[in-house]
Amino acid sequence: MRRANPVRQKLTALGLLGMPLLTYPLLALPEGHLADIPASYLYLFAVWAGLIALAALVAEQRGAK
């Protein structure tokens, strides 16, 4: 049996972590506005950008070894 790639495992875990963060119940929690931008939009794009940044860090760690 082939061993799983650790980078692939980390990226899979990151995707599984991100799915509940981007589902409706959590998207509906933030209320109000910040600088005339709805808080739910800020939450959505902050989580999205954070997941991309974490995926980039995981991918870069592979190249550093």
- Give tens-digit pLDDT for 24-62: 998 889 999 989 999 999 999 999 999 999 999 999 986
Tell me if 17 is assigned to some domain. Answer: yes
Q: Which residues pair with 33 in a beta bridge?
A: 38
Sign of the C-alpha dihedral computed for residues 37, 38, 44 and 47 taken in this order: positive
For residues 1 and 6, which has the higher predicted lDDT (pLDDT)? Answer: 6
Neighbours of 42 (CB within 10 A): 15
Cα(61)–Cα(65) distance, integer angstroms: 7
Residue 65 has pLDDT above 60, yes or no: no
Tell me if 1 is assigned to some domain. Answer: no
**Residue 17 has what pLDDT?**
94
**Count of domains observed in the chain:** 1
Give the range of the structural domain holding residue 25, as residue numbers without chain letter: 6-64
How crowded is the C-beta side of 47, counted as CA atoms within 13 Å?
17
**Residue 27 has what pLDDT?**
87
**Residue 2 has what pLDDT?**
76
* Nearest by Cα to 50 from 5, 17, 3: 17
